[in-house]
Amino acid sequence: MKICRILSHLITPFAYLTLALAQADVGSGRIISLSLDSRTITTLQLRPGFVTSVRVPEPVSSVVLGDPGAFKAEHSEAEPQLVFFKPSTATPCHSNALITTRTGREVSLSLISRGSSDKSAPIDYVLRYEPPHGMLIAGSHPTFLIEENKSIDPARLPNGREEHVTDNSDDDALSAQRNAVPHWKGESLRVSIGTSAQDSDSVRVAFSVLNASPKTIELLPPQIELTDIAKEHREKGIKAEPVPIRSYRLTSRRLAPGERADGLVWFERPPFKESSEHLELQVTEAEQVDRPVLVTVSFVPAKNGDTR
C-alpha cells in the first residue's frame, strides 16, 4: 500500500503536466460578431476535429463550397439560419464558400485550415452576423427597405414569388418579358436576354431562364461582369470584373424540369470600357457554380428600350 501511495504521488503531477501541455497546444477559440455586408469577405480559421457555426439573420437558401474535397458544409431546415463548416483533411488547405439567403443576399467566406500539425492557431467557433442597417427581420420572413418600394399582386407572378420591386415600368418590362419569344443560350440551363433601359448610370435588363435539365434546380442571384476578351487576356485567362448590382427581381429561383423564370436586374454601368471589353449577364445554378451561363448585355441600351 505504501508503494502504491508513492507511485500515486509521482504519477499525479505528470498527469497534470500532460493535461496542461495538451491544453496549451490548442489554439484559443473565438466567437465573432459582425454586421452583414455582402461586399466584404470574412476569413474563418478552422481546425480538423472542430466545427465552426455561422449564423446569418435570415433563412439560408444554398451553400456552395469552392473545394468540397477540402471542407464540408452542413445546413438543416430545422435550423434555417445556421451553417456548419469543418475541414475534411488533416493537411493545410484553403478555399472559399458562398452562402445565399432566400432573399438573394450573399455571404462570402474565405476558409483556412492550417492542418492538424499547427495546434497554436486560433479557431473560430462561432461567427454571428448581425442584421445590417436598413434590414428588417420579422419572424421568418425577412424584407429589405428599398427606395420607392411598391407592392405587386403575387398572383401575377409564377409560383406567387417576388424579389425586389421598384416601379410600374418594371412591372411592364417583366410582363413584356414573359410574353416575348426567347432566344436561348445554354444547354441544361438556358438564358435569354430581353429589353434593356437606362436611367442615368443605372441599366435595367430583362431576362428569362429555362430549366432544360431533368431535375429541379435552384438559381443563384444574377451577376453582371465586365469581361475583357483581348488577345493578351485570352493567353493568361479571360479577365472578368464584377459590376455592382443595385437590385433584381426573379419570379422563381427554384425551377422544376421544363419550368421557366423571368426577371429583371438593375446594375450600375461603368462610365466607360475598352473596345475589347463587354458586359455579360451571368446566371448560375447552385449545384454547378463553376458552370455559369454568360450572355452579352448591351453597354448602351437603345433609347426606345429595344435590345441591342
User: pLDDT for 181-224, tens place per residue?
Assistant: 899 999 999 999 999 888 877 899 999 999 999 999 999 989 88
Radius of gyration of the chain (CA): 25
The segments of the chain whose pLDDT lies below 50 read 7, 10, 17, 19-24, 134-166, 231-237, 304-308
- As assigned by CATH, the class of the 26-135 domain is mainly beta
C-alpha cell at position 307: 435590345
Burial class from Cβ neighbours inside 10 Å (0-12, 13-18, 19+) for residue 201 reads exposed
In sequence order, which residues have a C-beta less than 8 Å from that of residue 206 and are 6 or more positions away? 173, 174, 176, 177, 180, 193, 194, 195, 196, 262, 263, 264
User: pLDDT for 97-120, tens place per residue?
Assistant: 999 888 778 899 999 998 888 777
Give me the residue spans of the domains in the chain: 26-135, 146-297
Unique residue bearing C-alpha cell 473545394: 67
Cα-based distances in Å from 113 to 73, 98, 224: 14, 17, 31
Report, at the CATH architecture level, how domain 146-297 is classified. Sandwich (2.60)
Return d(Cα 191, Cα 247) in angstroms, integer: 19
Please tell me if the domain spanning 26-135 has the same topology as the one spanning 146-297.
yes
**Which amino acid appears at position 233 of this protein?**
H
Cα-based distances in Å from 171 to 174, 223, 249: 5, 21, 10
What is residue 205's predicted lDDT score, i.e. its pLDDT? Answer: 92
User: pLDDT for 41-55, tens place per residue?
Assistant: 899 999 999 999 999
